[in-house]
Amino acid sequence: MASLGLNLDEQKAVDRFKKDVVEPSMSKLVIIDFWAEWCGPCKALGPVLEKVCGEYADRGVVLAKIDVDEEKFIAAQFQVKSIPTVYAMFRGQPVADLTNARSESQLRQVFDELLSKLPIDATGVEGAEPDIEPLLEMGEQVLAAGDGERAAAIFMQIAEMAPDNPHAQAGMVRALIAAGHAKEARAALEELPEELRSDPAIAQARSLLELASEAPQDEGELAALREAAKADPADMEAQLAFAQAAFAAGQRDEAAGTLLAMIGADPEWNEGAAKAKLLQIFEAVGLEDPWVAATRRRLSLLLFG
């Protein structure tokens, strides 16, 4: 697992972000200024931010400047599309977008509002628990983009910060599966403490791992299973074998379509095996996922429509 993850530059960028932004935000209000040397509006806003943040320093406000040219990976995770972009972060989570506050008076007004609502400690808090929600979102975004290796590295870092967080552990397992490291994913699940194993997020990751074990060896095997299923629609074993392999290979629409057709033809076949497999897929993908919601409606119409 040591070989998984970010390249050296990206790893250094994440470490700098944790040190300069996430850790101070555990007790301070960190103002993140995404800027670049070539950006005229950035150069105009920079001194204003520095002045007002300096005025509020004794109230727990800290300014963190991030050069988007030097920290492209971090800027990408925040989906910075134009600069200057300014966020306020507290306990690891963005709490306000300050991009449109360009004058000293506007910034002071926003700072006063935030400081009146947030439990900022101007002296610092030792041992504050990190709010890892933004980092979890970052990992999920990278995973959704299809980069399992990078997502695994992000979730591993989060798991080190919060080893008892089931979402961090489950994310790491799902990312390892996406990266093709099923053996490492299984080992990670087996190493979890007993109190985490019953968490729904862990159960979802476990279902995904079980389904991933049905993956075909290559595209040729998947094609052969597809042809066998098409050749004889009445062969339920062939249909189920293809549906399992299709989902494990990332073809979830084909998998669901095949299973729904099986349920429509014979819902009781093999003690409802097709429905059971589809429900397992729902659990693995996540019951809140839009694709799952849409497919569940198709299943309901099939069964009760």
For the annotated catalytic residues, the residue numbers are 39, 42
Side-chain half-sphere exposure of 161, counting CA atoms within 13 A: 24
Tokens 């059971």 label which residue? 276
Tokens 């449109």 label which residue? 100
CB 196 within 8 A of CB 219: no
Burial letters for 166-184: b for 16+ Cβ neighbours within 10 Å, e otherwise?
bbbbbbbbbbbbbbebbeb
Q: Which residues are registered as beta bridge partners of 30?
A: 62, 89
Residue ranges of E strands in 18-155:
29-35, 61-67, 85-90, 93-97
Q: Return d(Cα 36, Cα 223) in angstroms, integer.
A: 50
Tokens of 215: 């993956």
Show contacts of 216-225: CB within 8 Å, 24+ apart: 216/245, 216/248, 216/249, 221/245, 222/246, 222/249, 222/251
Closest CA to 29 of 137, 103, 115: 115
Tokens of 64: 């963190």
Total number of residues shown for the chain: 305
Q: Return d(Cα 42, Cα 93) in angstroms, integer.
A: 23
